[in-house]
Structure formats: structure tokens, C-alpha cells
Amino acid sequence: MDLGIAGRWAIVCAASKGLGKGCAAALAREGVNLVINARGSEALEQTASELRARNAGIEVRSVVGDVARPEVRAALLAACPQVDILVNNAGGPPPGDFRDWTREDWLKALDANMLAPIELIKATVDAMAARGFGRVVNITSGAVKAPIDVLGLSNGARSGLTGFIAGLARQSRLASCNVTLNNLLPGAFDTERLQKTLKAAAQGEHDLEEVAEQRRRRIPAGRFGNADEFGAFCAFLCSAHAGYLTGQNLLLDGGAYPGTF
Ligand code: NAP
């Protein structure tokens, strides 16, 4: 299927590895020009080179820095001639017990996982509406639907973003102008982040592969997801065909969430 977005421009935040990279790669395959971002320059430049090598017809620009910082967001916006597609992403906050978290810890989580996406959305959606096309995809977490106790910072900050998007996506001045905003909720995907989580669960005392296998067994699909399939779904959400799909929280978890809705 031709997704009908060749020649468009996208900002993909936190895209040197993992799910963000999967989204960037899938958009690149559709002929979308990219501005990609991450804090570490080495992996970011490597990803940018890979994307250029595999997709000769597109332009790929990179902006190094923490997307939670205003000057990095300004650089991202300046590097993108016209933002048709915005994929918001950042690393997840650390696990822990809420009794230990300070106001600073909360502000960090809110900055990265709620306020950074909102600021980028604020800077882009009205121009998208004026042009009659816009797609915003926020990478959040399955924990928004089924909270994970030790990820309280993530549960809280991402739920804040989710509530905000639910209202904004339904503004008719956006929805009637073909601007959609949706959240993608990953379950367990095989990325560096997942490997770190599994290592933490093993705590050096249990066999890592055993811990991974136990986790896989709790997923009806019997496996972890991969960044390519996540990216392909994201690209469809960003496609010309997905203009009637807005304000949704789409869970990709191999059937792990046990509820009917
Ligand atoms: P990952 O494999 O660790 O990759 C994270 C990517 O984001 C890297 O490119 C990283 O590069 C970049 N990054 C992290 N923080 C950033 C920041 N503040 N500013 C700019 N770039 C940043 O992680 P992932 O598994 O793809 O996860 C992506 C998001 O989905 C995270 O928020 C994670 O919590 C969430 N999630 C993942 C899973 C899963 O199973 N994988 C499940 C639920 C939710 P640098 O470190 O160089 O910046």
C-alpha cells in the first residue's frame, strides 16, 4: 500500500535507537524526509547515515540534544522546513518508590514525557491545520492503560499527556483540517530499554534468559515486539489513509493486556 506521504517532512524525537528509530526507518521507506534526534551524537549520526544509505531519495537531518530542553526543540523545529508529521518520544523515567521521589524527579519526568511533546505540538499543529495535513504520534506506554507500580513517574507523566491529547485531538479546528493526534502504547518491545528492565528484574541473581522467557510467557503472542513492526504501524498512522483516526490510544502488546477494552 502506498501510504501517500512521500515528500513530506517529519520530526522524529529520540530516534537513534529502539522504537523511535523504527518509526524513522518506516517513514523513510515511504519517502518521508526526516529530522531525527537523540542525546548521543555517535548513535544518532550512525542512524542518520543508515537511513540515507537505504533511502536515496530523502533528506535526513540530525539534531543532537535532550528533547526535554527548549533550545533542542527550537533546533529541531529550525531544522525542519515544514513539520507535516511529528513523532514525540523520549526515554522513560527510572523505576522506584514514590516515597523516594523529590519534586525535581517529578519535574524531570513531566518535562521529558509530557511537556516536551506538548511544546512541540503547540509549535506545529496550527500550521499543519492551515496546510490541511498533519499527523502527531506520541510514543507513550502500555503502562498508561495498565499502570506498573514501580513506574509511577512514567504512569503519572504519560497519563497527563494522554489526557491532554484526548482533549486536543477533538478540537474541530484540528480534526476538520486533517490533523490527527494519537498515542502509541508499546507493551514489551525488544530494545535496549527492555534489556535494561530485564537485567534490573534479574538483579544479577537470576538467569537473564530465564527472566526474559518468563516475561515472554506472559505475552499471548509468545514473543517480544520488534521496532520494525512498531515503526510500520506508526507510519500507517502518519499516512494519508489515517485521517479519520484521531484521539486514540493504540496498544501494541501481543495481547498482553487482559481486558476487553
Ligand atoms: P531505547 O531503546 O532505550 O531507545 C531510546 C532512544 O531515545 C535512544 O535513541 C535514545 O538516545 C533516545 N533518547 C532517550 N532520551 C532522550 C531524550 N531525553 N532526548 C532525546 N533523545 C532521547 O528505548 P525504547 O525501548 O525505544 O523506548 C522508547 C520509549 O518507549 C521510552 O519512553 C520507553 O519508556 C517507552 N516504552 C518502551 C517499551 C519497550 O518495551 N521497549 C515499553 C513501554 C514503553 P540517547 O540515549 O542517545 O538520547
> Scanning the structure block, which residue is given the C-alpha cell 523515567?
93
Predicted pLDDT at 205: 77
Secondary structure in 3-state letters for 75-104? HHHHHCCCCCEEEECCCCCCCCCHHHCCHH
> Closest residue (by CA) to atom 19 of ligand 1?
66
Assess whether the C-beta atom of 225 lies below 6 angstroms from ligand 1.
Answer: no
Within 10 Å of residue 191's Cβ, how many Cβ atoms? 21
Phi, psi dihedral angles at 205 (to 5 degrees)? -100, -30
Distance of alpha carbon 172 from alpha carbon 71, whole angstroms:
31
Tallying the residues shown for the chain, one arrives at 261
Predicted pLDDT at 203: 85
Rounded to an integer, what is the distance from CA 258 to the centroid of its chain? 23
**DSSP class of 64:** E
Residue type, 101: W
- Alpha-carbon Rg of the chain, whole angstroms? 18
pTM of the shown model:
0.98
Nearest ligand 1 atom, CA 187? 42
Predicted pLDDT at 206: 83
Using most ligand atoms within 8 A of CB, pick from 51, 89, 252 the residue to mutate for ligand 1.
89
> Scanning the structure block, which residue is given the C-alpha cell 537505504?
54
Predicted pLDDT at 90: 98
> Closest residue (by CA) to atom 41 of ligand 1?
189
pLDDT in tens, the chain (261 residues): 999 999 999 999 999 999 999 999 999 999 999 999 999 999 999 999 999 999 999 999 999 999 999 999 999 999 999 999 999 999 999 999 999 999 999 999 999 999 999 999 999 999 999 999 999 999 999 999 999 999 999 999 999 999 999 999 999 999 999 999 999 999 999 999 999 889 888 887 788 999 999 999 999 999 999 999 999 999 999 999 999 999 999 999 999 999 999
Within 10 Å of residue 240's Cβ, how many Cβ atoms? 14
b vs e for 128-143, b when ≥16 Cβ sit within 10 Å of the residue's Cβ? bbeeebbbbbbbbbbb
Distance 111 CA to ligand 1 centre (A): 15
Helix (H, G, I), strand (E, B) or coil at 132: coil
Assess whether the C-beta atom of 43 lies below 6 angstroms from ligand 1.
Answer: yes
Q: For residues 146 and 193, is the Cβ–Cβ distance under 8 A?
A: no
Q: Which residues contact 145 (CB under 8 A, 6 or more apart)?
A: 185, 249, 251, 257
**End-to-end CA gap in the chain:** 29
Q: For residues 191 and 18, is the Cβ–Cβ distance under 8 A?
A: yes
